[in-house]
């Protein structure tokens, strides 16, 4: 007999055959097409088992073809993983990360187009989602919503099985059938990225912030506004896209493979003698962080208030700040893309306690441990802010 084991991968169950294909087929044929009764001398007729085998084989072929044909531009072809002996060990569906990068760039820019059009038409339709933990208003606008629809449903059109986590959720009944399908190639990606990598769908989580710095967006402080897409592989930020819609500028990176030409590191060595260190922080709690920063880093420390996590990360590349500090709760869709960009350029983003942040879809979307982002001297900043990290840990 054939030894059969069932294995689950994501929503599907797959079968592992321990006998080789040739042995299995030979055994089935011997059983299904054996001589029977009076007809044996004249020829061969099907036994009941033979009829059953034919129906099973036909059904299996039809099911396989349906799965093979379903999906997106990468064809989502089921891939059979075969051992050297010809045994079937597993079946999985994978995706091209180069194509996913191109789609992420295109969708971040399409979302940005919605954000810019609605702001310029001054049709924000602002609502409040409530208050943040610090008591600040947490607004949502039509720019957030339309960008969300363009990005999330754009991914769905190309990669319908992809796990996408977005800050926003459209209202029931919103029209999504008119969403334009994204481009699956990008000229700069093709020029910079020379090799591809395929990854199983179940390992991928996409984090989307359709409009970062919504409060500043409502105040018409356009320089802080970004749209962001991040691809995490097994919880690790791998592809990051930060688009500035009012500057028509996009920064992207794929860790270990390449980055956009405009993503330059205009760093200066933090902590050089006589040089004041510059810390960029949220506008909503700049005062409290300034006090902490000067206690930890010295009175010469310059604290720069700004809106939007995406803007703050880009400020590190532009030489505006030496470190980005956040001491309260922040959501992972705010920081995943920036984390990927920093990793691609040998920078770091961790909690204030130095812990790496996990971006798996199954995890908590809240990051409670504060945030430290740097391009240089990350460990030195961690040591300076260790007392503040300890206070945060005691609260949670």
| Torsion angles phi and psi, residue 27, rounded to 5 | -65, -45
Contact 293, 325 (CB under 8 A): yes
Distance CA 394, CA 396 (A): 6
The residue annotated as part of the active site, out of 74, 106, 144, 377, is 144
280: closest CA among 318, 248, 244, 228?
318
Active-site residue flag, 351: no
308 DSSP assignment: -
Distances (CA, A) of 137 to 115, 266, 284: 20, 34, 10
- Determine the Cα angle at 136 with ends 130 and 142, to 5°: 55
- Helix axis angle, 309-317 to 332-344, nearest 10°: 10
334 annotated as belonging to a binding site for a ligand: yes
212 annotated as belonging to a binding site for a ligand: yes
207 DSSP assignment: E
Helix or strand holding residue 330 (H, E): strand 330-331
> Given CA atoms 90, 95, 96, 101 in this order, what sign does their dihedral have?
negative
Distance CA 30, CA 33 (A): 6
Active-site residue flag, 322: no
Contact 332, 357 (CB under 8 A): yes
211 annotated as belonging to a binding site for a ligand: yes
167 annotated as belonging to a binding site for a ligand: yes
Q: Report residue 189 as tokens.
A: 């990606």
316: closest CA among 356, 268, 367?
268
224-229-234-236 Cα dihedral, nearest 10 degrees = -30
The residue annotated as part of the active site, out of 214, 227, 350, 374, is 214
Q: Report residue 288 as tokens.
A: 């409290």
Distance CA 41, CA 48 (A): 19
257 DSSP assignment: T
Residues 6 or more apart whose CB falls under 8 angstroms from that of 114 comprise 143, 146, 147, 149, 150
Residue ranges for the known binding site for Mg(2+) are: 167, 209, 211-212, 334
Q: Which residues are catalytic?
A: 144, 214
Residue ranges for the known binding site are: 167, 209, 211-212, 334
């Amino acid at each position: 007999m054939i030894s059969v084991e069932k294995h689950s991968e994501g929503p599907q169950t797959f079968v592992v055959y321990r006998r080789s294909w040739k042995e299995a087929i030979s055994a089935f044929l011997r059983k299904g097409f054996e001589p029977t009764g009076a007809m044996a001398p004249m020829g061969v007729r099907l036994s009941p088992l033979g009829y059953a085998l034919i129906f099973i084989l036909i059904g299996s072929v039809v099911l396989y073809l349906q799965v093979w044909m379903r999906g997106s531009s990468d064809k989502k072809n089921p891939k059979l993983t075969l051992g050297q002996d010809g045994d079937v060990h597993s079946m999985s569906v994978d995706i091209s990360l180069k194509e996913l990068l191109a789609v992420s760039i295109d969708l971040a820019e399409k979302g940005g187009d919605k954000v810019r059009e609605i702001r310029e038409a001054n049709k924000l339709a602002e609502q409040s989602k409530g208050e943040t933990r610090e008591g600040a208003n947490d607004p949502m606008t039509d720019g957030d919503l339309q960008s969300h629809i363009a990005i999330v449903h754009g991914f769905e059109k190309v990669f319908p099985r992809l796990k996408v986590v977005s800050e926003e959720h459209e209202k029931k009944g919103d029209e999504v059938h008119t969403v334009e399908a994204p481009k699956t190639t990008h000229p700069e990606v093709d020029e910079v990225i020379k090799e591809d990598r395929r990854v199983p769908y179940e390992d991928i989580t996409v984090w989307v912030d359709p409009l970062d710095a919504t409060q500043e967006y409502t105040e018409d402080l356009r320089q802080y506004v970004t749209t962001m897409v991040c691809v995490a592989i097994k919880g690790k930020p791998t592809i990051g896209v930060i688009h500035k819609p009012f500057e028509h500028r996009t920064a992207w990176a794929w860790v270990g493979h390449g980055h956009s030409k405009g993503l330059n590191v205009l760093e200066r060595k933090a902590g050089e003698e006589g040089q004041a260190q510059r810390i960029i922080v949220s506008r909503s709690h700049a005062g409290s962080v300034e006090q902490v920063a000067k206690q930890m880093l010295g009175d010469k420390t310059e604290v720069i208030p700004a809106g939007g996590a995406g803007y703050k990360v880009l400020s590190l590349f532009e030489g505006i700040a030496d470190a980005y500090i956040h001491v309260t709760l922040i959501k992972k869709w705010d920081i995943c893309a920036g984390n990927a960009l920093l990793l691609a350029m040998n920078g770091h983003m961790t909690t204030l306690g130095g812990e790496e942040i996990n971006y798996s879809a199954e995890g908590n979307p809240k990051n409670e441990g504060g945030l430290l982002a740097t391009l240089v001297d990350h460990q030195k900043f961690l040591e300076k802010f260790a007392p503040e990290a300890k206070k945060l840990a005691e609260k949670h």
